[in-house]
Amino acid sequence: MMTFDDLKKVQSTFEAELFDHPGVHGVGIGYKTTANVQTDQLAIIVLVDAKLDRSALNEAELIPAQVGGVPTDVVQYARHVNAIGVMDPRSPAAATINNGSVDRW
């Protein structure tokens, strides 16, 4: 079983690649949700502006099912920005991404 430090290394290794996908605005670590149920499986969480049907994306735009042996979970999550266009550090997304929290937001 991977430790949290192992997961952080995977996140760090693949973060730039994941941010290159259209609509991605956050990458963190959290619990994977399947069929609207949170599992106990840790995953690389990829925050997107909108989840699109696979048919609307070409192969290069798809988020891989796993990176570095760790499952991914694509989550539609609105960006939290303040009046000057900077992510609000109090937002759940910022807290999760910046602090490495494994709590679901």
**pLDDT value of position 99:** 47
Tracing tokens 């609207």 back to the chain, one arrives at: 36
pLDDT tens for residues 75-101?
A: 998 776 655 555 555 555 554 444 444
- Distance, CA of 94 to CA of 19 (rounded, Å): 15
Average confidence (pLDDT) over 24-41: 93
Q: Is-contact 94 86, C-beta < 8 A?
A: no
pLDDT tens for residues 40-63?
A: 999 999 999 889 888 988 999 999
Average pLDDT of the chain is 82
pTM across the whole model = 0.75
- Distance, CA of 11 to CA of 65 (rounded, Å): 14
**pLDDT value of position 105:** 38
In the chain, the domains with their CATH numbers are 4-99 (3.30.300)
